[in-house]
Structure 1
Amino acid sequence: MTQMSWLGVRLISQVFGNACLPGYIGGRLSILIYHRVLKEQDSLQPDIPDEKIFRWQMQLLKRYFNVLSLRDALCRLRDNTLPERSVCVTFDDGYSDNVTVALPILKELDVPATFFIASGFLNGGSMWNDVVFELMRNIECGVHEFSEVPDFTSPVNVEDNYSSRRKIANTIIQTIKYLDYSRRQFVIDKLNEKIKNTNTGLMMTSCQVRELFAAGMEIGAHTLSHPILAKLPAEAARREIDAGRAKLEELINAPVRILAYPNGKPGEDYLPEHAAMAKEMGFEAAVSTSWGVSDALTDRYQLARFTPWDTTPMRFAARLLMNGRSLHRPMAVAG
């Protein structure tokens, strides 16, 4: 990171004052969400940080914040001993680059992290949204039919540029995201048939899960197949959570104590009954994707998290400051 970049971060701290930093007032906890860290930037998915960006982000956290493991932070939150400017780092889904690219940086900088892994995709599986992106990466230019996708009633012109392909991919993803699970999988299977050069190896192997755990990282549950829990019957949701956790516990021979809801928007992706379910199933906590910070009064089964997508240190720091001022109060859970 350049000297000018660090000066910008210091300026933010001086302008806003320490009282605005996450964790300063009343023990507030910021939890960051990552999914992938690439070796080099991907023009089709430019929002994914590459190795250089991730490194300076972790350096910034180490310099200006107290980076804790999620489990340690939750204990301190409960005991009202959370340090000022407390931050946790988490990863969702279980991509192999978490191990090959992110892990060496985390180890080098001594940054703990929690990895929420959808265990049904280990050893060669693909997340449904990645199928869409790989289709757009490999499909030939020209006019194509996507009649299996709802609302795609007319042919689509796929151009020879990343911007066009990214727009089509994002439109397909938003169109099928909340379909019934079986219907969405039918669409994905049909789209998968169009891919000529499938990008295998996106998700972790069982050995990589063990490698993370052996490196001192925490393994968290993220269901088996990453469904929208709010779209499932209660027993199906329970089976997804339980099976996903059981597979991970078998791999690492240790308990999995924290759950991340797939997609994670309260009232849309998961419901109050799923928070109650997580507690009943013996999890110590669960995390959402609601922006803001959590304190001792926040429901431990609906903790706030946010994604820091900024690509400059000053903006990254500014977003941490702004997020730290938003205290999360989740949905009420009966009982």
Structure 2
Amino acid sequence: MSRVRSGNHAVLGTQSGGRLTEWLIVKLDLEKERAYLQDLSRRTGLVLLYHGLFGRVPSDLEQGLHNVSPEALYQQLEAIGRFFRFVTIDEYCLSADRVGLATVTSDDGYRCVIEEGLPVFEALDVPAALFVNRAFVSGGVFWRDKVRFLINRDLVQAFEQEHGQGLVRASGQGFYRYTKDFRNNSRQVETALDRFFTDHDIQPDLKQAYVSQGELVGHHPLLCFGSHTVSHYVLASLSAEEQAHQIEDNLGFLRSQNGLTVTDVLSVPFGERQDYNCATVALAAEIGHSVLLLSEGRLEDSTNQGSTKLKVIDRVMPRGNSLMATLKKAEHKAAGSSY
């Protein structure tokens, strides 16, 4: 009996020691994260970009969607808020010195941002800017979600055989990447997707995933809204005339909504340098935008684009529980080094 008890005590002792070790590791990681954030807040500003904030991602979007759970969102914003001061997107962009400031943005208008993300924003008193697209707010389905639908339903090969022959595809590019390549006109890509769905009598049931026009009216004081173009097409893939329609019509739509707080900041779809061009910059400035938001994952990059004096500000996309790793990678990108 004594040997049995002794053995049990040894097991219990090992288990307790293991839990203590785990606790010490977590504590050490937390201290490192806080020290890093404190140092970062003394050197730069921070623009965060979120897309989905689903507690549970719909199965048809599971692969390919940038999603952060509400629990992870709370942890990230609470950690950042200890050292950065959260402000609105307009206050951030207008500030002459953005060091120590942070702002939250969300693209594509997923309903979960309001249903599951807003309670987090309220709990932490964090303002957020939601950049939406008229096409989805008005009852359409986001064409990138159509792409994700094919991926998650294992229909990519069938699509490529029937409708993908005319699309440009660089060596090594997979379906998800080449369908948003600027050399493929996004409107034509969506047309091909819709033809495939029609041919196979498929109707992706995704309309409820987006904020509706009616929901824009009863917005929360912590929220403002901005333009992400009408259809979220790759602007560089479009003609100047098509770009003008995408940019002007979406901003006009938002400004026509009674009582809606609208920023004149434009969130560039896909947000990398190859996704827009000189025509985009000129048109955005002419139509009334003052800032272009990118999403290349760099820390606080603010420059002027030629004579238009249009600011360009980059954003960082946190993923899951890897906040510090994401920020360090963004810092290395801003410094022009590899990571």
Pairwise TM-score range, normalised by the shorter structure = 0.7 to 0.9
Alignment partner of 1:175 is 2:178: yes
Match of 1:95 in 2: 110
In the TM superposition, what is the alpha-carbon distance from 1:134 to its structure 2 partner? 2.6
Alignment partner of 1:9 is 2:36: no
Alignment partner of 1:29 is 2:39: no
Match of 1:279 in 2: 285
Match of 2:267 in 1: 260
1:29/1:295 contact within 8 Å kept: no
Per-residue CA shift, 1:215-269, capped at 9, x if unaligned?
Answer: 3312111111111111212122112101011111112445541101111111x11
Match of 2:209 in 1: 202
Distance 1:272 1:3, change over 3 A: farther
In the TM superposition, what is the alpha-carbon distance from 1:108 to its structure 2 partner? 1.7
1:291/1:328 contact within 8 Å kept: no
Cα distance in structure 1, aligned partners of 2:190 and 2:204: 20
Distance 1:233 1:306, change over 3 A: same
| Equivalent residue runs for 1:1-335 within 5 Å | 5=26, 7-14=28-35, 18-19=38-39, 21=40, 23-25=41-43, 28-41=44-57, 44-45=62-63, 47-76=66-95, 78=96, 80=97, 82-84=98-100, 86-138=101-153, 144=158, 146-151=160-165, 171-178=174-181, 179-193=184-198, 194=200, 195=202, 198-212=205-219, 214-254=220-260, 255-266=262-273, 268-294=274-300, 300-309=310-319, 311-312=320-321, 315-324=322-331, 326-327=333-334
Cα distance in structure 2, aligned partners of 1:139 and 1:272: 38
Cα distance in structure 2, aligned partners of 1:152 and 1:297: 37
In the TM superposition, what is the alpha-carbon distance from 1:139 to its structure 2 partner? 6.4
Per-residue CA shift, 1:157-207, capped at 9, x if unaligned?
Answer: xxxxxxxxxxxxx94332322322342122210233343662331111012
Distance 1:233 1:295, change over 3 A: closer
The Cα RMSD (Å) is 3.1
1:260/1:288 contact within 8 Å kept: yes
- TM-score for the superposition, normalised by structure 2: 0.76
In the TM superposition, what is the alpha-carbon distance from 1:276 to its structure 2 partner? 2.9
Cα distance in structure 1, aligned partners of 2:303 and 2:175: 39
Cα distance in structure 2, aligned partners of 1:5 and 1:151: 51
Cα distance in structure 1, aligned partners of 2:216 and 2:335: 31
Distance 1:317 1:64, change over 3 A: farther
1:261/1:288 contact within 8 Å kept: yes
Cα distance in structure 2, aligned partners of 1:281 and 1:233: 16
Mean alpha-carbon deviation: is it higher for 295-304 or for 122-131? 295-304
1:148/1:187 contact within 8 Å kept: no
Q: Percent identity?
A: 21
In the TM superposition, what is the alpha-carbon distance from 1:94 to its structure 2 partner? 1.0
Distance 1:292 1:139, change over 3 A: closer
Cα distance in structure 1, aligned partners of 2:57 and 2:252: 35
SS in 2 for 1:147: helix
Mean alpha-carbon deviation: is it higher for 245-254 or for 98-107? 245-254
SS in 2 for 1:148: helix
In the TM superposition, what is the alpha-carbon distance from 1:42 to its structure 2 partner? 5.7
Cα distance in structure 1, aligned partners of 2:304 and 2:34: 26
| Structure 2 gap ranges (5+) | 1-22, 168-172
SS in 2 for 1:251: coil
- TM-score for the superposition, normalised by structure 1: 0.77
Distance 1:316 1:36, change over 3 A: same
SS in 2 for 1:215: coil
Match of 1:166 in 2: none
Cα distance in structure 2, aligned partners of 1:121 and 1:199: 10
1:135/1:191 contact within 8 Å kept: no
In the TM superposition, what is the alpha-carbon distance from 1:118 to its structure 2 partner? 1.0
Code of the aligned partner of 1:37? L
Which structure is richer in relative contact order (CA contacts within 8 A, separation 6 or more)?
Answer: 1
Cα distance in structure 2, aligned partners of 1:197 and 1:297: 40
Distance 1:207 1:326, change over 3 A: same
In the TM superposition, what is the alpha-carbon distance from 1:89 to its structure 2 partner? 1.0
In the TM superposition, what is the alpha-carbon distance from 1:99 to its structure 2 partner? 1.2
Distance 1:289 1:47, change over 3 A: closer
Cα distance in structure 2, aligned partners of 1:6 and 1:55: 18
SS in 2 for 1:201: helix
Cα distance in structure 1, aligned partners of 2:222 and 2:72: 23
In the TM superposition, what is the alpha-carbon distance from 1:150 to its structure 2 partner? 2.1
